[in-house]
A and B are shown apart, each in its own frame.
Chain A
Amino acid sequence: MKRLWLVAPIALTVLAVACTSNNTSNNNNGASSSPTGVVKLTMWMGYTPPPPVNQSYEYISLTGLVKEFNKTHPNIQVSVQYTNSDYALNKAIVALQGNKQPDISYQYGTNMPQLATAPKLVDLTQKVQEPGFNWNDFFPGERAVATINGKVLGIPALVDNLAVVYNKDLFAKAGVPTPTNDWTWSDLMSAAAKVNDPAKKVFGMAFPMDGSETTVWEYEAMLWAAGGDILNSDNTKAVFNQAPGVRALTTLQQMAQAKDLYPDFHPDAGKSEELFNSGKIGMIITGPWDLSSFPAVHYGVVYMPSFDPGGSHQTIAGPDNWVLFDNGPARVAAAWEFLKWFTSTPQLLKDAMATGHLPTRASVEAQPGFLTQFGQKFPGEDVYAENLKNVLKARPQVPQYPRVSTALGQAIVNVLLGKGSPQQELNAAASQADGFLAIPQ
């Protein structure tokens, strides 16, 4: 009996290690280059496999394309591995430390500055200039996010942008005219005031209040539309506390003071979306990914408003990238072959029509009939696709940006909670940001 105690855990450990040991002689997730010349690649992506089938159309589209590639390119075989995109950076960091990185990985655009310091991240600057690839076909906002310190380090995988989604029925009931793409912030504020109904617990507009990047990037769209910038041109000083920044934040402050805003302190929990879908919120600033969360509402999509009539409707995008890791020249070359094919116009067109993803290339959008078909199949997404022309700037891709964003987020929340004036709070945030920007990286 005593012996069994000793034997059992040891046996179980050995058993577990033996049964499941993934031939430790094989590094890098089993991908390898065999003598017959077939290069095996590993690709990390975050589209969930079924179940349920009706939620995994992105996975099906992507794996369908991969299968097609594998068939037509017998000497390059790509295998797809699911990695929740929220954790993709963490996993990549850890994998890089242990030399177990994949060949291709999906990474949020905001991960790029940190990844840029990885020695094993492949520099694509020369590759994107290859004839036929047409790097400039990708929208400027995407290219800016994929470029760090002048080096192209990723290929756009997904693009989106922010627009205003509104509840048509609530608007009609409150007597608000249908918004058009050239509307202004005063139009929006008056719509919010009319829709807002405290007795029925209906709010004019939802706004994320947790001070995270979710808060900040909505503000940044307004900042750009007002004619301002986040940092100066060489990213050494914050300039969001100048007049346009103050104007944008004051607009939000006025809405908060009028109590037309639903302050969502937990935007990641999807509360605003659920409330919108329950008819309790008139407007929500969000992206195309959320449209499928609103099955119970007649929604409309309209550009972000301008500050002055006829002014800019600039908005912000959060593009994500495919990055390549260096596992040896043979695999890098093969991975680039794959990525070139995967992100070319015919494949992107197929994927867009299957998934509702906004096209990352302008040539896809320019295909005759595309926008109409796209809008028919995915109501509202055609507006988002057209809105891509309003994405002119990107957030500064510097390693200090997250800390700058935290300071700016705190300032915004403080103002909306009534704890300070816009100029005061923005000045405080700007001086904090200047401090961060001065730290050598």
Chain B
Amino acid sequence: MTGQPIAATAHKVKRAEKPERRFLFSPWHLVLIPIVVVMLVPLVWMLVTSLQTLGETRVYPPTLVPHSLQWRNYSDVLRLAPFGQWFLNTTIVTVAVVIGNLLLCSLAGYAFARIKFFGREVVFLLVLATLMIPFQVVMIPTFLIVRRLGLIDTLGALIVPNLAQAFGIFLLRQFFRTLPIELEEAARIDGASRLGVLFKIVLPLSGPALATLAVITFLWTWNDFLWPLITIYSPSHYTLQLGLTTFQGAHQTVMNLLMAANVMSIVPVLLLFFIAQRYFIRGIATTGLKG
């Protein structure tokens, strides 16, 4: 596309941007606020329900305003259920899976994106194919494999099968392909290995994609229910989602405590997402490419 001389490395040059005037009231707020209201309705409902007494939750249509704010529901959940244990287990599993995916999917995603190796297209299609069978069908064979590895009823059962997921490979392959290849070619000519190019050039430019992968993988692992249900037996190894089922009693659901527990369990994910926003800023410009 070019034939022009290319810079040897990518500079992150903060170009002289148009001064972004932060309006006190940009017209975009008018668009975004209604959208946000619609999106937030469930959270509001969960919060309200979590502050009700059990009796208040038993009516229909639901009362949207609790008569009293039962903050004790939250302390009840923490005190009476091994919430801390569930939280710890889930955190260990989720952090391991996220780190594993960030690493392994970067390696594989880069290979699929940039390196022409024997069988690449077929293997990629096979990887995608694993997404095309519903989990309910493959969960029993998967269980048997995990059992043969001796991992049943350990957190390993939740970690090892998920260390690299097709989603991550697919996402990063697509993203890496959008990066200008000249940077990588230049680095290779200068003698960098493939691995070096990946870690020194490609990954630093992939902040948004990696942040996305981290958040989504975190979310799925955090919320995973079916797989822990069939592989974990001891209550001391329960994850949050499994623990929440103990609020769904044999005959009735303890809705207010369940919602309190639910609220507490989604806070970390939202927090992570909020923090990850820093990787979504505009202005990571690359320069010296399109001459």
Instruction: Report the bound CA distance from A29 to B154 in whole Å.
Output: 12
Q: Does B284 belong to the interface (CB within 8 Å)?
A: no
Residues of B within 8 A of A293 (CB): 58, 252
Q: Are B99 and A9 touching (Cβ within 8 A)?
A: yes
Residues of B within 8 A of A46 (CB): 250
Residues of B within 8 A of A270 (CB): 252-253
Q: Are B58 and A85 touching (Cβ within 8 A)?
A: no
Q: Are A9 and B154 touching (Cβ within 8 A)?
A: no
How many of B's residues come within 8 Å of A, CB to CB?
A: 53
CB distance from B97 to the nearest CB of A (A): 8
Residues of B within 8 A of A400 (CB): none
Instruction: Report the bound CA distance from A2 to B278 in whole Å.
Output: 23
Residues of A within 8 A of B155 (CB): 16-17, 19-20
Q: Does A363 belong to the interface (CB within 8 Å)?
A: no
Q: Are A94 and B140 touching (Cβ within 8 A)?
A: yes
Instruction: Report the bound CA distance from A31 to B253 in whole Å.
Output: 31
Residues of B within 8 A of A91 (CB): 229-230
Q: Does B167 belong to the interface (CB within 8 Å)?
A: no
Q: A17-B151, A98-B144 are in contact. Are A9 and B58 (CB under 8 A)?
A: no
Q: Are B156 and A12 touching (Cβ within 8 A)?
A: no
Q: Are A29 and B233 touching (Cβ within 8 A)?
A: yes
Q: Are B96 and A49 touching (Cβ within 8 A)?
A: no
Residues of A within 8 A of B104 (CB): 9
Q: Are A100 and B152 touching (Cβ within 8 A)?
A: yes
CB distance from B224 to the nearest CB of A (A): 15
Q: Are A16 and B257 touching (Cβ within 8 A)?
A: no
Residues of B within 8 A of A50 (CB): 80
Q: Are A98 and B246 touching (Cβ within 8 A)?
A: no
Q: Which residue of B96, B147, B163 is within 8 Å of A100 (Cβ)? A: B147
Instruction: Report the bound CA distance from A46 to B246 in whole Å.
Output: 9
Q: Are A2 and B199 touching (Cβ within 8 A)?
A: yes
Q: Does B248 belong to the interface (CB within 8 Å)?
A: yes
B163 to A, closest residue via Cβ? A9
Residues of B within 8 A of A82 (CB): 235, 246
Residues of A within 8 A of B100 (CB): 9, 12-13
B98 to A, closest residue via Cβ? A9
Q: Are A97 and B140 touching (Cβ within 8 A)?
A: yes
Instruction: Tell me the residues in window 59-105 of chain A with beta carbons closer than 8 Å to chain B beta carbons.
Output: 81-82, 84-85, 87, 90-91, 93-94, 97-98, 100
Residues of B within 8 A of A20 (CB): 154-156, 237
Residue-wise interface mask of B (224-267) relative to A, using a CB-CB cutoff of 8 A (1 in contact, 0 not): 00000110011101000000011111111110010000000000
Instruction: Tell me the residues in window 35-79 of chain B with beta carbons closer than 8 Å to chain A beta carbons.
Output: 54-55, 58-61, 76-77, 79
Instruction: Report the bound CA distance from A273 to B93 in whole Å.
Output: 38
Q: Are A12 and B99 touching (Cβ within 8 A)?
A: yes
CB distance from A158 to the nearest CB of B (A): 9
Instruction: Tell me the residues in window 133-192 of chain B with beta carbons closer than 8 Å to chain A beta carbons.
Output: 139-140, 143-144, 147, 150-156, 159-160, 163
CB distance from A109 to the nearest CB of B (A): 14
Residues of A within 8 A of B229 (CB): 87, 90-91
B261 to A, closest residue via Cβ? A51
CB distance from B111 to the nearest CB of A (A): 16
Q: A48-B249, A48-B250 are in contact. Are A8 and B99 (CB under 8 A)?
A: yes
CB distance from A267 to the nearest CB of B (A): 13
Query: Can you report 9 A-B residue pairs in the complex whose CB atoms are below 8 A from each other?
Result: A8-B103, A9-B104, A16-B159, A48-B249, A51-B254, A87-B229, A91-B230, A94-B139, A292-B252
Q: Which residues of A contact B (CB under 8 A)?
A: 2, 5-6, 8-9, 12-13, 16-17, 19-22, 24, 29, 46-53, 55-56, 58, 81-82, 84-85, 87, 90-91, 93-94, 97-98, 100, 270-271, 273-275, 277-278, 280, 289-290, 292-293, 295-296
